[in-house]
Amino acid sequence: MSQKNTYNVAVVGATGAVGQKMLETLEDRNFPINELKLLSSSRSAGSKMKYKEQELVVEEATPESFEGIDIALFSAGGSVSKKFAPEAVKRGAVVIDNTSAYRMAQDVPLVVPEVNEADIQNHQGIIANPNCSTIQMVAALEPLRDALGLSRVLVSTYQAVSGAGNEAADELREQSQAFLDGEELDAKVLPVKGDEKHYPIAFNALPQIDVFQENGYTFEEMKMINETKKIMHMPNLSVAATCVRLPFFTSHAESVYIEVEKDGVTVEEVKQLLSQAPGIVLEDDPASQKYPTPLSSAGKRDVFVGRVRRDLDNEHGFHLWVVSDNLLKGAAWNSVQIAERIIANQWL
């Protein structure tokens, strides 16, 4: 495809939690759009959404919707991506897919630009956007891996409900009010909409995100484990994850333990590397109680790191607290950022 100045962009799943943030991010970044097409399932077709000063009507996605599209941003669930991403590619579009449908496929690059931007150029039409909790973690780990080597990652997550979509956020809001009013809590969505049992999330913590796998890990945990290895090109990296859903709306936090390979690394060295890394903001000063929180990072595109300290028993071990807006760097912004890098590098 020859270089253009503006592009025809489709957003699939435009009315969802991530889709809405994609529109906002395209607008905030003043993305070079020629024509913007908003697509959805038949259920949401006909909805109206605003982009800049325009009012756009959401259309039902069909294979023909992708005629003339240059870049298609997908975030409407794995089955929609499986059905329509190949149709979009067949019609000449590059697909940036925010579902888990293609992430582990060998011919699909799985990309966090701060970590493996160069992988984009190997794409065969589809580029996968990683899982939200994975993105912020690898973005924080990459500058350390690069300078210090990395042999082990152990993470426990503190994840916002918006990662499970608008319905989950509504459920938290309704249950919270019911709890404060002394009423019974009605649980229909979390931990996993399609799973058999549902538990209240308001004033609670649920150690299940996505469905359980045969090995006793949840799919969310396996995504963090497998995607981290793929993005960082470290198939033998030791990675473990425990993923927990918590009663807040936006931003995931992560308690991350790592072991680096280099000897004699100081906390100052780790902080210095993080403070200079692209996309990372170091917010770390115990003396003034400075550390990132979900509320403080919501609505921002960066990954925030605090609580950096050395393990007291292992000279190579360090602890970090990593926080980022799960709908922005964890989803919409990382997808738009991939699109920006494609354009800047002429990798369409």
State the catalytic residue, choosing from 123, 243, 252, 316: 252
For 121-151, b where at least 16 C-beta lie within 10 A, e where not — what string? eebebbbbbbbbbbbbbbbbbbbbbebbebe
Residue 307 lies near a copy of itself (rule: CB under 8 A): yes
**Nearest one of 211, 210, 224 to 133, comparing CA atoms:** 224
Q: In what order do the strands lie in the sheet with 94-97?
A: 59-60, 33-40, 7-12, 71-74, 94-97, 126-128
State the nearest-atom distance from the C-beta of 98 to a copy of itself, in Å.
24
Side chain identity at residue 165, one-letter code: G
Number of residues that this document lists for the chain: 348
What is the rounded CA–CA span in Å between residue 149 and residue 36? 43
State the nearest-atom distance from the C-beta of 280 to a copy of itself, in Å.
17
233 part of the active site: no
Instruction: Tell which positions 217-236 bind a copy of itself, by CB under 8 A.
Output: 217, 225
Q: Which two tokens stand for residue 184?
A: 């019974």
Residue 1 lies near a copy of itself (rule: CB under 8 A): no
- For a copy of itself, the closer of residues 29 and 309 by Cβ is 309
State the nearest-atom distance from the C-beta of 141 to a copy of itself, in Å.
16
- For a copy of itself, the closer of residues 96 and 241 by Cβ is 241
Contact residues for 196 (Cβ-Cβ < 8 A; gap 6+): none
Does residue 182 have a known ligand-binding role?
Answer: no
| Cα dihedral 325/88/232/281 (nearest 10) | -30
What is the rounded CA–CA span in Å between residue 134 and residue 139? 9
Determine contact, residues 205/244, Cβ cutoff 8 Å.
yes
Q: Identify which range of 2-10, 41-49, 55-63, 213-221 contacts a copy of itself by CB under 8 A.
A: 213-221
State the nearest-atom distance from the C-beta of 263 to a copy of itself, in Å.
18
The correct pick among 62, 121, 177, 346 for binding a copy of itself (CB under 8 A) is 177
Q: Identify which range of 41-49, 102-110, 119-127, 196-204 contacts a copy of itself by CB under 8 A.
A: 196-204
Q: In what order do the strands lie in the sheet with 238-242?
A: 238-242, 152-158, 252-259, 317-324, 303-310, 280-282
Contact residues for 210 (Cβ-Cβ < 8 A; gap 6+): 192, 218, 219, 220, 223, 243
Q: Other CB atoms closer than 10 Å to residue 66's CB: what's the count?
A: 24
Residue 184 lies near a copy of itself (rule: CB under 8 A): no
Residue 246 lies near a copy of itself (rule: CB under 8 A): yes
Kind and range of the H or E run holding 133? helix 132-148
Q: Which residues pair with 71 in a beta bridge?
A: 9, 94
Does residue 15 have a known ligand-binding role?
Answer: yes
Determine contact, residues 209/246, Cβ cutoff 8 Å.
no
Size of residue set near a copy of itself by CB under 8 A = 59
Give, as one character, the DSSP assignment of residue 156.
E
- For a copy of itself, the closer of residues 225 and 343 by Cβ is 225
- For a copy of itself, the closer of residues 172 and 331 by Cβ is 172
The correct pick among 56, 240, 272, 275 for binding a copy of itself (CB under 8 A) is 240
Residue 303 lies near a copy of itself (rule: CB under 8 A): no
Residue 197 lies near a copy of itself (rule: CB under 8 A): yes
The correct pick among 51, 219, 257, 347 for binding a copy of itself (CB under 8 A) is 257
Binding positions for NADP(+): 15-18, 43-44, 162-163, 326
Q: Which residues are annotated as a binding site for phosphate?
A: 103
List residues near a copy of itself by CB under 8 A.
152, 154, 156, 158, 173, 176-177, 180, 191, 195-197, 199-200, 203-208, 212, 215-217, 225, 238-240, 242, 244, 246-249, 253, 255, 257, 267, 286-289, 291, 293-296, 306-314, 317, 319, 321
Residues with a known catalytic role: 132, 252
